[in-house]
Amino acid sequence: MAATEEIEFLTTDAELLAAFDPYVVRKFHVKDSEWQDILKKTAQAQAAARRRRHLVGWLRPFRRTQRSVRVSYLQQWADIGMERQLDGKLKAHYLFRDQPFEAFTQGEKRIHHRLLFRAVERLRPRSVLEVGCGNGLNILTLAARFPDVSFSGLEVTASGVQAAAAIRSLPGLPRVLAEFSIDPPRTMTGHCGVRLIQGTAEALPFPDASFDFVFTVLALEQMEEIRNAALSEIRRVSREFVLMIEPFRDWNPSGIRRDYIIANDYFSAKVSDLTEFRLQPVITDEIPAKLARGAGLVLAKVV
C-alpha cells in the first residue's frame, strides 16, 4: 500500500463539488432571507427534538439501540431496491464551507463514492472491508472499478446481505450501478467476487489484521450504543488504514447539528478520541453534508 506521507489529501473541493453538482437543485447565499428562514425552522425543530429526547429518551422504546437499528434497516433493505434508492427524488438541505444547497440525496452518496474511489486508488490496498455495507452500493461499485482488490462487506441485517447477494449473483453489473459509479467500471463482473457476511461490528468475525483497509460510511453513526467495541474491532481487523465518513462531534459541535445528534442518539466521538484505539488520524476534512447532520472524512493509520 502507499505510504500516507505521499498523500496529503484524497480529493479537492472542486472534485467533491463536481460529484455533487448534478444533484443540486438550488444554491443559496448564506444571508438570503429564505435560507435564514430555513435555518430558523430547522433550529426550532431540532431543539424541540432534543427536548423530547431529554424528557422520554431514557425509556428504551425512545432510544436508538442496536436492536432498533436492526429492525429499522431490516425493513429498509427489504423494501427499497437499488434502482429506487438511486432514482429517488428525495431532497434535503446541505452545507459545505458556508455554501448552502438544496439537492437530491443521491448527491451525498456520490460524494462518498468520490472519496472512497480516491482512497482505494491512492492507498492501493489488496484487501478491503466495509463495515455496515447495507445493500452493497459502495462495495459492489468499488469491486467493479478495482477488480484486482479483494472486497468484503459486513452487514448486520439479513435483508441487507440478501439484497447485496442478489446483485452479486447477476452475471453483469446492473446498469443502474454502472451509471451511478463515480468512475467507470473496469469490469462488469468484478462485483461477483465480493464476499458478504452478516454480523455485528462489536464482534467482527475476522482474525486480527485481516484487511489492508477498512472503511465505514455513516455506519458508526448508528452504533453509539456499541461505539467503543466497534472502534476496537475495526482497529483489530485492520492492518494499515481505516477510513471513516461519519458525523464526528468535530462537525457537530453545537446548535442545530448538536441537537440533532443528541435527539437521535447518533455517534458522538471526537476525531481525537481515535488515538485511544491506536488509530492515528492522518487526513481530516469537511465534506458537503446535510444541514442537520454534519459529517466529515477521517483517514487514520493503524499504530
The pLDDT value given to residue 95? 97
The number of CA neighbours under 13 Å toward the Cβ of 28 is 21
Three-state SS for 280? strand
Name the band, by pLDDT with cuts 50, 70 and 90, for residue 3: low
Which tens digits make up the pLDDT trace of 225-274? 999 999 999 999 999 999 999 999 999 999 999 999 999 999 999 999 99
Determine the pLDDT at residue 62: 75
Question: How does pLDDT run across 85-135, given as a tens digit for each residue?
Answer: 898 789 999 999 999 999 999 999 999 999 999 999 999 999 999 999 999
Closest by alpha carbon to 257, among 216, 296, 290? 290
Average pLDDT for 276-295:
97
Supply the pLDDT for residue 83. Answer: 87
- Verdict on whether the full-model pTM lies above 0.85: yes
Q: Is the confidence at residue 9, as pLDDT, over 90?
A: no
Query: Number of folded domains in the chain?
Result: 1
Residue 206, φ and ψ in degrees, nearest 5: -140, 150
Residues in contact with 11: Cβ distance below 8 Å, sequence separation at least 6, in sequence order? 114, 115, 118
Find where cell 467482527 sits: 204
CATH number of 274's domain? 3.40.50.150
**Alpha carbons 163 and 167: distance in angstroms, whole number:** 7
**pLDDT band per the 50, 70, 90 thresholds, residue 6:** low
Is residue 290 scored above 80 in pLDDT? yes
User: Can you give the pLDDT at residue 243?
Assistant: 98
Nearest CA among 205, 11, 191 for reference residue 113: 11
Q: Is the pLDDT of residue 59 over 80?
A: no
Residue type present at position 119: A
Q: Does pLDDT of 5 surpass 80?
A: no
* Chain centroid offset of residue 10 CA: 16
Neighbouring residues of 257: CB distance < 8 A, sequence distance ≥ 6: 247, 251, 292, 293, 294
* Containing structural domain, residue 40: 4-302
Regarding predicted confidence, which is higher, 58 or 68? 68
Looking at residues 183-192, what average pLDDT do you find? 97
pLDDT at 4: 60
